[in-house]
Amino acid sequence: MTFFDLLNTASNGLEAQRERMEIISENVANASTPNYKRKIPVFSQKTGSAFAIIMARQLGIKEDDLLSFINGNQISKGVEVSQVLVDQTPGQKVHMPGHPKADANGDVEMSNVDSLVEMLEMMYATRGYKANLSIVEMAKAAARETLNIGKQGG
């Protein structure tokens, strides 16, 4: 793995955790919204890069072949939020006759978001973000030290 691969992988982790935090924030903001369904981010292995995909299309070759050539058969580039699932668990029913979303019995289904679960998810996302950020900081420090060795030797 090259220095830039390391930064790219950590960057993808930062982006995935940021997306996760945005989804969690949306859930928390809608915890009291009737009929709102909790959203759950799904992570998957990220492959390739946008540049390589565009280049492969221009050259008329398979993207995986180009990525394999560029990366030396190491296609993985960290994680990404591949999809967002909607939790279909029913929310609590509250009797609110006259509410626009009330059913025939006057009941309204509330959100299925549990604020405590969302706060724990936010803590995990924050820790993941910080871990990726520390990788970037360590890589920068290593690069700085490498440059300093070059200055001292010459």
pLDDT averaged per 10 residues, the chain (length 154): 77 93 97 95 77 64 63 65 94 93 94 96 96 90 85 66
> For residue 42, what are the β-bridge partners?
83
| pLDDT of res. 52 | 58
| pLDDT of res. 105 | 93
| pLDDT of res. 107 | 95
Query: Among residues 89, 83, 73, which one has the least CA distance to residue 37?
Result: 89
Residue 54: strand, helix, or coil: helix
| pLDDT of res. 65 | 64
CA separation, residue 20 to residues 9, 86, 114, 137, 142 (Å): 17, 14, 16, 22, 29
CA 9 to CA 75: how far, in whole Å? 11
Q: Any long-range contacts for 115-121 (C-beta under 8 Å, 24+ apart)?
A: 115/28, 115/31, 118/24, 118/27, 118/28, 118/31, 118/38, 119/28, 121/20, 121/24
> For residue 112, what are the β-bridge partners?
none
